[in-house]
Structure 1
Amino acid sequence: MKIETMPNGQLTQRLNGETVTHDAIELFANKKVALFAVPGAFTPTCSASHLPGFVALADKIKAKGVDAIVCLSVNDAFVMEAWGQAHNAEEIMMLGDGDGSYTKALGLDKETGAFGGIRSQRYSMIVDNGVVTNLNVEQPKEFKISDAETLLGQL
């Protein structure tokens, strides 16, 4: 799978007690972004390994010229805020794609049936001024290439 540029769409975030809607084109314009996506907040691999890895390496990732680290999930902004707080993810933008439309626009959605319908595949990417320079999409039920250490090595 190859994504060349980030599609248009809207993502939500809880910030200072308010819900903020980000335009994706503006969010990725004129900056370097490390983005990782998870199938669901508060789920085992996402909570035990994926998010904590980015929390632990946030300073090193930003030291490589990254302007923002984004965690994306097909969850609402309230769930993403609570999950970020539970993991001390102050350095990470916890963004919700509540209806999965942005994840679908990326072509990185998956059907999970009883687990919650449409969810995101697990992946990480580097986005430079809206252009995807690296994309690491995991095989189902794997966590080998979308981790923070791999992404840090690609910067």
Structure 2
Amino acid sequence: MTIQIGDSIPEAPLQRIRDGIETVDTNALFDGRNVVLFAVPGAFTPTCSEKHLPGFVEHFDEFRRKGVEVACMAVNDPFVMQAWAQSQNVPEGLMMLADGNGDFTRALGLELDASAYGMGVRARRFALYAENGVVKLLNVEAPGEFRVSSAEHMLAQLP
């Protein structure tokens, strides 16, 4: 079942690289914080690299001024997420999270079968806003679209 507005973020491990690989529990990421989490089908893919991540990089300071943390997630490994962050000049503080096995993506009910493209199971393109681990906004893109999960759209919807 797909996560809905009013639901709590499910608990699952994600990974990121700081001084090595760090496993982060979603409860630790969301509890006591206001967070926009956006997911992309794959690092280094065209729309993700040309529009989705760059929008959040460009508007990162605006989210921070609103007291909102920003996290990007993909069903990729943490090394790919780190390399993508470096290639995109991601600012310090914009979390790049790897859901390598897709466990969190499945717990959200937002998986995408991209095996026809040789990519296996990935995350659907979406953005959500959560306050203290509770989903307040959820924008899931229709297949092949990029509108409602953009940084600009999320900023316009934030309280």
TM-score w.r.t. the length of structure 2 is 0.93
Deviation at residue 154 of structure 1 after TM alignment: 1.4
How much identity, in percent, do the aligned residues show? 48
State the shift of 1:27 in Å: 1.1
Query: Pairwise mapping of residues 23-34 of structure 1 onto structure 2 (< 5 A)?
Result: 23-34=25-36
Query: Which residue is 1:52 aligned to?
Result: 54
- Distance in 2, matches of 1:37 and 1:57, equals 16
Corresponding pairs, count = 153
Amino acid in the other structure paired with 1:142: E
Counterpart Cα distance in 2 of 1:69 and 1:124: 10
Equivalent positions of 1:5-154 (< 5 A) are 5-16=8-19, 18-66=20-68, 68-90=69-91, 91-113=93-115, 114-154=117-157
The RMSD of aligned alpha carbons is: 1.0
> Which amino acid letter does the alignment assign opposite residue 118 of structure 1?
V
CA displacement at 1:115 relative to structure 2 = 2.7
User: Which amino acid in 2 is paired with 1:27?
Assistant: L
Instruction: State how far apart, in whole Å, the 1-side matches of 2:154 and 2:118 are.
Output: 28
Aligned to 1:42, the other structure's residue is in SS state: coil
User: Structure 2 CA distance, aligned partners of 1:5 and 1:110?
Assistant: 21
1:116 deviation in Å?
Answer: 1.4
Task: Provide the C-alpha distance between the structure 1 equivalents of 2:108 and 2:45, rounded to a whole number of angstroms.
Answer: 22
Q: Comparing 86-95 with 139-148, which one deviates more in the overlay?
A: 86-95
Structure 2: unaligned runs, 5 residues or longer: none
Any unmatched runs of 5+ in structure 1?
Answer: none
